[in-house]
Every structure is written in structure tokens, then in C-alpha cells.
Amino acid sequence: MYTIIVGCGRVGSELAMLLSRRGHDVTVIDHVGSSFSHLDPAWRGRTIEAEAMAEGVLKRAGIEQADSLASVTDSDAVNAVVAHVARTVYNVPSVVSRNYDPRWRPLHEAMGLRMVSSTAWGAQRLEELLESRRMRPVLSAGNGEVEVYEFDVPKTWDGKRLEELLSGTECAVVSLTRGGRATMPEPKATLAAGDLMQVGATLEGAAALRGRLYGGEA
């Protein structure tokens, strides 16, 4: 896959490295040459120091052969325009735009762009973790028959085994995060108070799990 990344800040440079490690060809465009210092010294992709919307720059980057483009500068106007041009003029199959300032999100939406709003998502995620101490749904499948729930392991389950918590319920563990590191634990794994767990469950399974975790409280 050939990808063009517009913007070589922290996000763009990290994305370039991730794609390169997967064996993809990558070109990074940034109008500030010093921004390329964010790239790992081991990175061997192509860089272009120029304004992405300047005449001929996207063509010089090979946009007509590109499979995907990500516009991830710190300017929402630039990101939206570059992504719109890539999608509508050059018909790049996969285009993603970064929403830097949530107040500019309507611009991306008006253009029908696929976008990642890291600021809004991060704030929402922090709010969820700070305010909710019970099971909270984070993903719904089908018509809601199965959902992925997230919760912090309470003190009452400290030192007990995962299989004891889930046995006999319509639940399956998705991940367990401890110290910022996520794993897919074995059934005999020992739980620790404060572990962040994600579990897939039916509505009946979720109700049974709540009962075990909180004594029937919601």
C-alpha cells in the first residue's frame, strides 16, 4: 500500500513509522523542514518539504497512484481541504482527516470526511474513566444483543481468578489492562483491584456480571 501523510508532527511521524513497519511505502509532506526530525532515524521513506496545497505538490508526491492519504496537520482548514481534494479530485480510495480543534469538526462533517477527532475522543474517554465506577458499554454489536462493557475491578475481587468472575455467565473477556498495558488474560489469571477490564456480554450476561461485581447494584 502506498500512503501519503500530510503533516509531520507527533501524529504524522508516528503514523509514518507504524505504516513503514508494516511494509508500506510512505511519503510525508510538511512545509517545515525541521518537522522531519520527528521521524525515527531508522525511517527510510520519502519526505517533501512544501505546502501540500501548493501547485503540483500532491502530484509530485504521487497522489495519482496513492492507495490512501492522511491529512494530520495542526490546521483543520488544511486537513479538510487536502482530504477533500484527495477524495473528490484524485479519487484516493482511503482518506482520513485529523480534527485538531473540536470547534472545526462541522467543517469535516460538512465535507463528508472520515476523521479522527483525538481531542474530543480523549476528553470523552477521560470523562468516562473519571466519572463512571460501574460497568459502562463501549461498543454495541448487531441490534444491541451483544455489547462490550468496561469496568474497574472492585476491591472485593482483588486476588480472585478471572474464571470465577465469568464462570456460568454469557460473558467473554476482551482485554485486561494493568499499569497501562493491555493483555488477553487466561481464565486462571488473578485479578487486582483497579484492573481495567473489557468484557463482551449479552444483556443477561451483563446483568449476571453486575450482580457478582456489585451485589446487584447497577
The residue among 135 and 162 whose pLDDT is bigger is 162
Q: Give CA separation, 21 vs 7, 47, 70, 72, 95, in Å.
A: 19, 17, 17, 19, 20
CATH architecture of 2-119: 3-Layer(aba) Sandwich (3.40)
The burial class, CB within 10 Å (0-12 / 13-18 / 19+), for 170 is: middle
Q: How far apart are CA 151 and CA 10, in angstroms?
A: 30
- Residues 113 and 80 sit within 8 Å (Cβ to Cβ): yes
Q: How far apart are CA 208 and CA 205, in angstroms?
A: 5
CA-closest candidate to residue 209, choices 134, 128, 155: 134
pLDDT of residue 155: 92
Mean pLDDT of the chain: 90
Mean pLDDT computed over 18-28: 93
Which fold is adopted by the domain 126-214? Alpha-Beta Plaits (3.30.70)
pLDDT tens digits for range 172-217: 999 999 998 999 999 999 999 999 999 999 989 998 999 999 884 5
CATH 3.30.70.1450 location in the chain: 126-214
Least confident window among 26-30, 103-107, 158-162: 103-107
pLDDT of residue 218: 44
CATH 3.40.50.720 location in the chain: 2-119
pLDDT tens digits for range 59-84: 999 999 999 999 999 999 999 999 99
pLDDT of residue 129: 62
